[in-house]
Amino acid sequence: MTLARALWLWLKEIFAGPIRYFRALRAHPTVTFHPGVWIGRDCAFGRNVTVLADAVLAETTVGDHSYVGGGSTVKKSRIGKFCSVGPNVRIGLGIHPTHRVSTYPGFYSPSASGATKFCTDQTVVEYRPVSIGNDVWIGAGAVVADGVVVGDGAIIAAGAVVTSDVAPYVIVGGVPAKTIRSRFDPAMVEFLLRLRWWDMDDATLRLHAHLFGDPERFRKTMEAPRP
């Protein structure tokens, strides 16, 4: 490598981050982006979304009022409204098939980055979409594997590795992640799933925000007959 090319690559790397950041701002002017973010193709955002420093998103939608923590990577995913994605979370990172002679991407993916290419046709499914419900909290350093569906109101503990679907309003943790407990009794879960409070307008949510600390009072108030 010539000195000139080495210098060019060095300068390109230095300015790549700021360029990506300002491109993201221009493409999605209603989203709050912190420095160092990388927003790939086919991303869409709802209202009042925040993406913190050095997060990477590609082919992902993020619903109203959700945030993605710093250093997280999210690919081919749908994230609902009012979700809290902690720092250094990994969602939808791709699949290495285990039934083939080799798991090396160069033998099944002509587009894999960082791998020497030995194949020309792509017959292996490398990614399966991930679906994250509404009001989901994903703790720091958690991993959500391809194809997983996480239900509304679920909590994924920090450092968990989620390889199978997560039911609504349960807390999971561990490697691989297993159910720890439900957040509420079945009647409360059924009520919350039926109510879908995350679809209410902001004015209604502000009116009832003082009730969110008391689930039973919240339910009684929302189920009370309207005058």
CA 40 distance to own-chain centroid: 14
Q: Which of 127, 79, 58, 41 is nearest to 68 (CA)?
A: 79
The secondary structure of residue 166, as a DSSP letter, is B
The answer to whether the peptide bond before residue 176 is cis (omega within 30 degrees of 0) is yes
> Which amino acid does the sequence have at 204?
T
Identified catalytic residue from 28, 65, 96, 99: 99
Examine the residue annotation and report whether 99 is marked as an active-site residue of this protein.
Answer: yes
CA–CA separation, 70 and 67 (whole Å): 10
CA distances from 152 to 15, 18, 142, 157 (A): 39, 35, 17, 15
As annotated, the active-site residues are 99
